[in-house]
Structure 1
Amino acid sequence: MSNVAVRTSGRFRSGAGLGLVAWLAGIVFFLPIAWMTLTSFHSEADAATNPPSFAAALTLDGYREFFGAGGGASPWPSLINSLVASVASTLLVLVLSLPAAYALSIRPVKKWTDVLFFFLSTKMLPVVAGLLPIYLFAKNTDMLDNIWLLVILYTSMNLPIAVWMMQSFLAEVPVAIIEAARVDGAKLPTILTRVVAPIALPGIAATSLICFIFSWNELLFARVLTGVVAETAPVFLTGFITSQGLFLAKVCAASLVISLPVLAAGFAAQDKLVQGLSLGAVK
């Protein structure tokens, strides 16, 4: 057997091994979701059995109770609040992070590395450490149980991550294109919206999806700072966990429904997400 054939065979075995490992890792990550989905279609009695019964009868009772068929609260206000807070904060983050990343990458300011470290240092403070001051501020300004308070908080929480991500994406934008736009008389807003943004669209999509996921899943601030009017979907979900009775099937059904917007957004933007997260990885 020639050396070329030996190398080809070795590469094939290596590729097959890596593919098998990738499939096994995917199955391991998918099993909890599949288990949660199956449990959501079981009755509470079947869901609570140990060991679990795979052949138990399927039912939609968990979903009916989640949507208030049994006389419970409707989840729609909470879902709408989560959607408003997540989408509005993500849009604000993009509006603020794009010019900041432009200043730190394409037109770097003095000591721009120190600026990036300052942005990163704001994420080093534990969230619970800032909970009491924020609560007192919200109370004194009559902002408790207000969805726009969550929009401001989510924007400030996601902005450092967005600036870091956008800075790395915008660093890949060719400076010659921007210089050509300047020669043609384009101002900064035009350059950002018509030159930089289309080129960095995969990175913008990746940043938007990550900020949306972080905002949608946030629980601590929403739990403490909201009540009835601005209650979000994760807070609504915790109401299904009680100290009495069975709730496993209902919680699985609620968790699956609340996860669907994030899964749908990720599936819709998967091509842009892969492009954005791999942008600049290959020189």
Structure 2
Amino acid sequence: MSATAVRPATTATTGTTGAKPARARRKAGAGLGLVAWLAGIVFFLPIAWMALTSFHSEEDAATNPPSFAASLTLDGYREFFGAGGGASPWPALINSAVASIASTLFVLVLALPAAYALSIRPVKKWTDVLFFFLSTKMLPVVAGLLPIYLFAKNTDMLDNIWLLVLLYTSMNLPIAVWMMQSFLAEVPVAIIEAARVDGARLPTILARVVAPIALPGIAATSLICFIFSWNELLFARVLTGVVAETAPVFLTGFITSQGLFLAKVCAASLVISLPVLAAGFAAQDKLVQGLSLGAVK
């Protein structure tokens, strides 16, 4: 009877002890969730402020402190799209789309075989190769500006959108190879060997075996390359004029000697940011899978 009487007390004590870690984990999870929400709000506030300012008139946008209760208007967007007699932004937006999309496609075509060779095929000293790729990003961009400008001038490629495609491809290729190498390292070698036994050649293996398995990593790499190309300003500012002007260069045209038109700049910045935001939203699931691929072994 005594042993029977003691057993429930022991069980109750164990249950109470086990409930404490569970309660502590819930509190820790709630605290981390609160921190995450606060961080998200902090990062979102500048974007919300820019969006709100874009719907104000120039007089209300220039007030300090800003007037949140000011009347809303679409004048900033009308002026951005050339309603007030200004230049149309569509050529610059099209140039940015062409340069970003074309360079991203070229990067994927070149980076996938290179990453396959460094991750799956037996390449000697592959770590040294990856470090060489990464070391090319250590050179300041401005250090190569003059040689590239002289090359473009001597080859009559100034103000040519395909020069930007070539530059963006070479700039994004190292980081793309580095990222995709880690993604392709997670592809099971047995599947590739089975495809070889069935007679599949390397292009078929890359297109029908490796690419579908590594699709989240490819999506993450392509999105990052697209963002880098879309946001690039220095080379586009120096190497283009009128024909190949990109959206970031067009945006700098709103800062003139007459002053800063804040509402118009905010409207232009929001419109120019929409393609990147749309691409990130459309590929958010693949982006999260790609960036977390290989994180848990």
Q: Cα offset for 1:2?
A: 22
Q: Cα offset for 1:222?
A: 0.1
Q: Cα offset for 1:108?
A: 3.2
Distance 1:184 1:29, change over 3 A: same
Distance 1:176 1:69, change over 3 A: same
Q: Cα offset for 1:197?
A: 0.2
Task: Please report the TM-score for the alignment, with normalisation by the length of structure 2.
Answer: 0.92
1:178, 1:191 within 8 Å by CA — same for their partners in 2?
yes
SS of the residue 2:92 aligns to = helix
1:44, 1:247 within 8 Å by CA — same for their partners in 2?
yes
Q: Cα offset for 1:3?
A: 22
Distance 1:4 1:16 in 2: 40
5+ long unaligned stretches in structure 1: none
- Aligned residue for 1:65? 79
1:68, 1:74 within 8 Å by CA — same for their partners in 2?
yes
2:254, 2:260 within 8 Å by CA — same for their partners in 1?
no
Distance 1:106 1:24 in 2: 42
Distance 1:134 1:2, change over 3 A: farther
The answer to whether 1:149 aligns with 2:182 is no
Q: Cα offset for 1:242?
A: 1.5
- Aligned residue for 1:249? 263
When structure 1 is superposed on structure 2, of 125-134 and 238-247 the one drifting more is: 238-247
Q: Percent identity?
A: 94
Q: Cα offset for 1:6?
A: 22
1:2-38 deviations in Å (ceiling 9; x for gaps): 999999xx00100000000000000000000000000
1:45, 1:246 within 8 Å by CA — same for their partners in 2?
no
Task: Please report the TM-score for the alignment, with normalisation by the length of structure 1.
Answer: 0.96
Q: Cα offset for 1:246?
A: 4.6
Distance 1:76 1:232 in 2: 10
1:144-192 deviations in Å (ceiling 9; x for gaps): 0000000000000000000000000000000000000000000000000
Q: Cα offset for 1:245?
A: 3.8
- Aligned residue for 1:2? 2
SS of the residue 2:259 aligns to = coil
5+ long unaligned stretches in structure 2: 8-23
Distance 1:107 1:27 in 2: 45
Q: Cα offset for 1:244?
A: 1.6
1:102, 1:108 within 8 Å by CA — same for their partners in 2?
no
1:145, 1:230 within 8 Å by CA — same for their partners in 2?
yes
Larger Rg computed on CA atoms? 2
Distance 1:6 1:258 in 2: 72
Distance 1:4 1:258, change over 3 A: farther
* Count of residues in correspondence between the two structures: 281
Distance 1:179 1:4, change over 3 A: farther
Q: Cα offset for 1:89?
A: 0.1
1:78, 1:236 within 8 Å by CA — same for their partners in 2?
yes
1:98-138 deviations in Å (ceiling 9; x for gaps): 00000000113111111001100100000000000000000
Distance 1:130 1:218, change over 3 A: same
1:89, 1:151 within 8 Å by CA — same for their partners in 2?
yes
Distance 1:261 1:3 in 2: 72
- Aligned residue for 2:128? 114
